[in-house]
């Protein structure tokens, strides 16, 4: 049992102070010396009781010194490659210099379009307005307007037109007050309110959401088309062969000279005295929207 105590000190010394060679050797020597003193103390105890304090004191001193050496060896390791524990070194506070890193720019949402009233006063686009900025427009023409509305300049004729807003900004100008952006409105249902039609009763242009007798179709060209070209354009516009709708509709060529900037080149008319109450754009297999009284 007496030898178990020094061994208990020797084990952590070998494990914890692996880099402190001198500390291990010195502590081991002191532990062995202490163990010898314990054995001697036991022998003297049994034969010379009066001298028993000498080896006991020597053993205690050896144990104490071995513990001190072991601790100092762990705190101040020696030997090749010895050094402070791994980790970032920190300079004294007086010598630390810091450089403020530039802050990353805070992403900002792209600015929305600007809008103006009929009198060209700036207003929020959620309020009634007649002009809306065409963001990113490179050409301020009717084709740009149709694309902004979500349509195809090669086929769609709309009531809105290209205009110049205050400050020389390219804008889409609507025939009536609008609320909200006009972007991609032609992709919402038939978008009849944005398409251009004609009422033979009043001989006036109207939107296709009103009662009308004629709807206009573009060809993507300012050249006067042939009847066959208008039939082909109408088939694309209707998503249906006009020949399948001859009981209700008839395709014609608009009487406009070549070079005229008006994109309307062909017409789709209600046959006879019938009227239409919706656009025939992308009609497909739906019934022709003949107005009934």
Same domain, 154 and 204: no
Same domain, 197 and 284: yes
The model carries a pTM of 0.62
Same domain, 293 and 199: yes
What does the block give as tokens for 286?
């739906």
Per-residue pLDDT, 136 = 83
* In the predicted structure, residue 8 carries a pLDDT above the cut 50: no
Q: What is the mean pLDDT of the chain?
A: 80
| Highest mean pLDDT: which range of 2-11, 80-89, 91-100, 231-240 | 231-240
Per-residue pLDDT, 32 = 73
H-assigned helices in 126-200:
142-148
The confidence band for 56, taking pLDDT boundaries of 50, 70 and 90, is low
Q: Give the number of domains in the chain.
A: 3
CA distance 62 to 39: 13
Q: Is residue 92 part of a domain?
A: no
Same domain, 194 and 165: no
Per-residue pLDDT, 86 = 46
Same domain, 193 and 180: no
Q: Is residue 159 part of a domain?
A: yes
Same domain, 219 and 158: no
Q: Lowest mean pLDDT of 49-58, 67-76, 188-197, name the range.
A: 67-76
CA distance 90 to 162: 67
- Domain boundary at 186, 214, 230, which? 186
Q: Is residue 81 part of a domain?
A: no
Domain residue limits at 61: 4-75
From the list 166, 209, 160, the residue with the least C-alpha distance to 183 is 160
Q: Is residue 148 part of a domain?
A: yes
How many residues are given for the chain? Answer: 293
Same domain, 221 and 251: yes
Q: Is residue 132 part of a domain?
A: yes
Average confidence (pLDDT) over 156-181: 95
- Domain boundary at 135, 157, 186, which? 186
Per-residue pLDDT, 63 = 62
Q: Is residue 39 part of a domain?
A: yes
Q: Return the residue matching tokens 């009847």.
A: 227
Same domain, 162 and 252: no
Same domain, 209 and 175: no
Same domain, 193 and 288: yes
Same domain, 59 and 122: no
Q: Is residue 267 part of a domain?
A: yes
Q: Is residue 247 part of a domain?
A: yes
* In the predicted structure, residue 62 carries a pLDDT above the cut 70: no
The confidence band for 52, taking pLDDT boundaries of 50, 70 and 90, is low
From the list 291, 286, 292, the residue with the least C-alpha distance to 190 is 286
Q: 108-166: per-residue pLDDT in tens?
A: 444 678 999 999 999 999 999 999 999 888 899 999 999 999 999 999 999 999 999 99
Average confidence (pLDDT) over 48-69: 64
The confidence band for 218, taking pLDDT boundaries of 50, 70 and 90, is very high
Same domain, 174 and 221: no
What does the block give as tokens for 267?
């017409």
């Amino acid at each position: 049992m007496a030898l178990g105590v020094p061994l208990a000190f020797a084990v952590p010394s070998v494990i914890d102070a692996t880099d402190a060679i001198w500390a291990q050797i010195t502590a081991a020597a002191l532990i062995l010396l202490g163990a010898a003193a314990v054995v001697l103390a036991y022998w003297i105890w049994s034969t010379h009781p009066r001298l028993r304090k000498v080896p006991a004191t020597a053993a205690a001193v050896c144990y104490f010194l071995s513990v001190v050496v072991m601790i100092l060896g762990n705190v101040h390791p020696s030997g090749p490659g010895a050094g402070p524990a791994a980790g970032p070194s920190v300079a004294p506070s007086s010598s630390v210099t810091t450089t403020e890193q530039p802050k990353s720019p805070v992403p900002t949402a792209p600015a929305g379009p600007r809008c103006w009233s009929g009198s060209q006063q700036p207003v929020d686009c959620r309020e009634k307005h007649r002009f809306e900025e065409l963001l990113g427009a490179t050409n301020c023409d009717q084709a740009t307007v149709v694309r902004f509305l979500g349509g195809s300049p090669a086929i769609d004729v709309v009531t809105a037109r290209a205009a110049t807003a205050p400050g020389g900004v390219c804008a889409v100008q609507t025939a009536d007050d609008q609320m909200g952006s006009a972007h991609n409105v032609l992709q919402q249902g038939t978008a009849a309110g944005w398409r251009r039609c004609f009422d033979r009763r009043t001989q006036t242009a109207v939107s296709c959401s009103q009662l009308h007798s004629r709807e206009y179709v573009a060809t993507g060209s300012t050249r006067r088309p042939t009847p066959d070209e208008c039939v082909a354009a109408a088939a694309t516009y209707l998503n249906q062969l006009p020949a399948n709708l001859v009981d209700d509709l008839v395709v014609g060529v608009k009487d406009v000279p070549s070079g005229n900037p008006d994109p309307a080149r062909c017409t789709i008319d209600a046959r006879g005295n019938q009227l239409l109450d919706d656009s025939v754009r992308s009609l497909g297999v739906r019934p022709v929207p003949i107005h009934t009284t």
